Amino acid sequence: MSENGTANTTDSNRAVPGHRKALHLLWAIPVVIVGSYLPYVSAAITKCGVFGQDCYPGGPGFSAERAAEVLAQFAPAGLLMFLAVMLVPWMRRALVRLPFAIAAGVGWTAALWFYLAS
């Protein structure tokens, strides 16, 4: 305590605002990854059929007509990632978080798409 009754603060206590709030990303991102399992399975069934018969070598293969449907099924996973990055206040201003959130949502959707395509 100082002479005027306030607590002394040191530089180590003056962390960047939102520093501890950024730690919420450590649980939010894994929740999104687990939550993306259902859209991934749904898209895999759409792409390959229930038993994977459309994806076997020599099978009919993936039709381009179903590509938009598969991509639409990945949209909830991308939205979850966008919301996790946008709503966790790891930076003060929401407008600063917005481009990162958009990139994370689109990137996660693309990653799921390419993983399914491989």
Q: Residue 105 domain-assigned?
A: yes
Query: What pLDDT does 83 receive?
Result: 95
Segment 19-69, tens digit of pLDDT: 688 888 889 999 999 999 999 988 888 887 777 666 666 555 566 677 888
**DSSP SS3 for 57:** coil
Residue 13 has pLDDT above 70, yes or no: no
pLDDT of residue 24: 85
pLDDT mean across residues, the chain = 80
Q: How many Å separate Cα 58 from the centre of its chain?
A: 34
Q: Which of 118, 99, 106 is nearest to 71 (CA)?
A: 106
| Structural domain of 95 | 23-117
Residue 12 lies in a domain: no
Place of tokens 């305590």: 1
Number of domains the chain is built from: 1
